[in-house]
């Protein structure tokens, strides 16, 4: 009984920290399992062995081998094939392509690769296409066991609970129905998305900064005389002069030495600023010519949220200069160094070579361009990578060789042939995912071993018993869906699985439908730009507001839920 009380306290603290703090979930889960170890609830060997779970190791290897897959020309081929047909046809082609790719490779890489093609569309506004791109990538992840990390994680929980491992296509029947229903919903609701075309007056693209150097020919002349009022795709919004900020700049305003000129406009217009004598694109008093630009989006898990570029010493920390910032429709004020970072901010960086070797990029940023996708393999190498990757998947499907063994061999081959670099493995190694899932597996086993799971089962059975197994299934699904909108999808699965499994035991029914409800519920992040990283990636790129996610995401979430809850008991009976 004492162990149950201690573990209950640990779990309450874990849930409270996940919902009520900005602490990284990895630290929270590791802290919880460490506390359990210090309290004598679990031995050191028993705690550490959870991080060697076969499904978790498979997930890690899948992430690392996907580095080579992301470099192939396959995704770029899909991007070029999108075409410029009608909006209906473009979304249909985009959705089916994205869902197919996301079913066997990293959906973040898929979205990152296709964003450029969507933004370059000459016929349709990117705001009409980017949110459907993100949503269909999420939907496509539900098609297979490896389509999303959540499916593999839930598989790991199931194995530890004594269930049979999932098959590669156990998710597919429900996943196909979800993709079809979701795509129909997207096609119906796309008309309600804003049309933020490049010529829209409401668009506030990037926030650029240039400093007037000593000896510049701009000094002593007015804004109009210098031609700063008639720049293509750029608007002079403010002038920072010492501690003074001059807004609503008039054509007669005289330019002085040391003035910082703040522009709003298209990032592709940056070369225009370089044509002016003595005007340098800068960041936090550091001058930087722009040759190669990288676009990144600030992650929801970044430890720098709420801090300014200057406070975090961005240039020193990341060996890159921030030359532009965009934040949806919000108008930014003041110098770049004074902007407080928020999740979803899009930063344009002028990086040094050391930038790409930093180990913590994945945690701080969601990549859009120039980072993991800047180098593509040659056609022969691309064909080899795709053939070998699909062969490994096929061997697993037909149970010839376990996926974990074949992926390990494949990763070694990719490293030896130079298709995956050691520094890429260091940077992309999913340490936080390993920490969350390994810790969560240990906590779930503790809940079962201490009898806490049985106590939860009894309490939930008393609360939901009159609803029957199906009513309890609905409750578990929506609980997981709510968790995944508020915290990360993997953390949502970790919290919901022990409760779902305990309910199945309490009702004395097949636990498979309850476990599947957790998997599909954890993949249902549509209503918030911050619930899933692909949603965050398109936030600034599509110039969206949070309400745009509700307009399309709420109907999609309802249709998704109805589809899953209708078909799930048919495919996996109680």
Assign residue 305 the CATH number of its domain: 3.30.70.1450
Average pLDDT score over residue span 462-473: 82
Residue with tokens 């376990």: 402
**Residue 480 resides in a domain:** no
**Residue 363 resides in a domain:** yes
**Residue 200 resides in a domain:** no
Average pLDDT score over residue span 497-520: 90
Number of H helices, E strands in the chain: 23, 10
**Residue 260 resides in a domain:** yes
Which residue range is the domain that position 348 belongs to? 206-369
Compare 47 and 354 and report the one with higher pLDDT. Answer: 47
**Residue 221 resides in a domain:** yes
Compare 131 and 456 and report the one with higher pLDDT. Answer: 131
**Residue 397 resides in a domain:** no
pLDDT tens digit sequence for 536-572: 888 877 878 888 999 999 999 999 999 999 999 999 9
Whether the predicted pLDDT of 462 surpasses 50:
yes
**Residue 222 resides in a domain:** yes
pLDDT band at 186 (very low <50, low <70, confident <90, very high): very high
pLDDT for residue 522: 92
Average pLDDT score over residue span 481-495: 83
Q: Which secondary structure element, helix H or strand E, spans residue 280, and what is its range? A: strand 279-283
What single-letter DSSP state applies at residue 473?
H
| Pairing outcome for strands 286-287 and 279-283 | antiparallel
pLDDT for residue 287: 40
pLDDT band at 478 (very low <50, low <70, confident <90, very high): very high
Lowest mean pLDDT among 67-81, 417-431, 529-543: 67-81
Q: Are 495 and 443 in contact (CB under 8 A)?
A: no
Mapped onto helix, strand or coil, the DSSP state of residue 266 is: coil
Lowest mean pLDDT among 26-35, 295-304, 320-329: 320-329
Domain count, the chain: 1
pLDDT for residue 230: 65
Average pLDDT score over residue span 510-520: 94
Q: What's the predicted TM-score (pTM) here? A: 0.74
Q: What is the 3-state secondary structure (H, E, C) of 200-263?
A: CCCCCCEEEEEEECCCCCCCCCECCCCCCCCCCCEEEEEEEECCEEEECCCCCCECCCCCEEEE
**Residue 331 resides in a domain:** yes
Whether the predicted pLDDT of 103 surpasses 70:
yes
What single-letter DSSP state applies at residue 141?
T
Average pLDDT score over residue span 90-104: 88
Average pLDDT score over residue span 186-190: 94
What are 308's strand-pairing partners? 340
């Amino acid at each position: 009984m004492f162990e149950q009380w201690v573990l209950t306290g640990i779990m309450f603290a874990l849930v409270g920290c996940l919902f009520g703090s900005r602490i990284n979930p990895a630290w929270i889960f590791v802290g919880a399992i460490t506390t359990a170890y210090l309290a004598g609830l679990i031995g050191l060997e028993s705690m550490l062995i959870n991080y060697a779970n076969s499904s978790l190791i498979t997930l890690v290897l899948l992430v690392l081998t996907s580095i080579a897959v992301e470099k192939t020309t396959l995704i770029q081929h899909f991007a070029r094939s999108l075409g410029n047909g009608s909006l209906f046809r473009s979304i249909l082609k985009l959705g089916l392509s994205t869902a197919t790719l996301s079913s066997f490779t990293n959906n973040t890489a898929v979205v990152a690769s296709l964003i450029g093609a969507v933004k370059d569309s000459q016929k349709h506004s990117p705001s009409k296409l980017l949110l459907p791109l993100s949503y269909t990538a999420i939907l496509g992840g539900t098609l297979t066991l490896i389509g999303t990390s959540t499916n593999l994680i839930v598989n790991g929980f199931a194995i530890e609970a004594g269930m049979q491992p999932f098959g590669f296509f156990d998710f597919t029947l429900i996943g196909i129905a979800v993709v079809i229903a979701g795509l129909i919903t997207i096609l119906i609701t796309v008309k309600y998305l804003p049309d933020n075309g490049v010529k829209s007056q409401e668009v506030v693209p990037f926030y650029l900064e240039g400093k007037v150097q000593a000896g510049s020919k701009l000094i002593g002349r007015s804004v109009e005389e210098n031609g700063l009022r008639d720049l293509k795709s750029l608007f002079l919004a403010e002038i920072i002069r010492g501690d003074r900020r001059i807004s609503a700049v008039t054509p007669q305003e005289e330019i002085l030495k040391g003035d910082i000129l703040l522009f709003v406009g298209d990032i592709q217009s940056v070369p225009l600023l370089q044509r002016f004598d003595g005007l340098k694109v800068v960041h936090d008093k550091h001058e930087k010519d722009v040759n190669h630009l990288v676009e990144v989006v600030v992650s929801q898990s970044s430890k720098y949220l709420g801090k300014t570029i200057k406070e975090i010493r961005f240039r020193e920390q990341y060996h890159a200069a921030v030359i532009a910032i965009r934040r949806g429709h919000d108008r930014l004020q003041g110098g770049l160094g004074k902007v407080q970072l928020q999740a979803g901010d899009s930063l344009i960086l002028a990086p040094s070579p050391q930038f790409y070797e930093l180990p913590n990029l994945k945690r701080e940023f969601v990549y859009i361009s120039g980072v993991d996708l800047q180098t593509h393999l040659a056609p022969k190498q691309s064909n080899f990578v795709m053939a070998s990757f699909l062969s490994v998947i096929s061997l697993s499907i037909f149970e010839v060789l376990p996926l974990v063994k074949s992926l390990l061999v494949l990763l070694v081959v990719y490293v030896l042939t130079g298709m995956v670099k050691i520094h890429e493995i260091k940077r992309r190694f999913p340490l936080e995912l390993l920490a969350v899932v390994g810790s969560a597996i240990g906590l779930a086993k503790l809940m079962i071993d201490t009898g806490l799971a049985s106590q939860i089962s009894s309490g939930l059975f008393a609360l939901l018993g009159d609803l029957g197994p199906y009513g309890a299934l609905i409750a578990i699904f929506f609980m997981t869906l709510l968790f995944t909108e508020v915290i990360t999808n993997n953390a949502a699965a970790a919290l919901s699985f022990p409760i779902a499994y305990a309910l199945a035991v309490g009702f004395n029914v097949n636990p498979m439908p309850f476990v599947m409800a957790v998997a599909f519920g954890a993949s249902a992040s549509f209503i918030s730009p911050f619930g899933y990283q692909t949603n965050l990636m398109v936030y600034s790129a599509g110039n969206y507001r949070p309400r745009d996610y509700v307009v399309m995401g709420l109907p999609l979430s309802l249709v998704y839920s109805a589809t899953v809850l209708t078909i799930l008991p048919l495919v996996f009976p109680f």
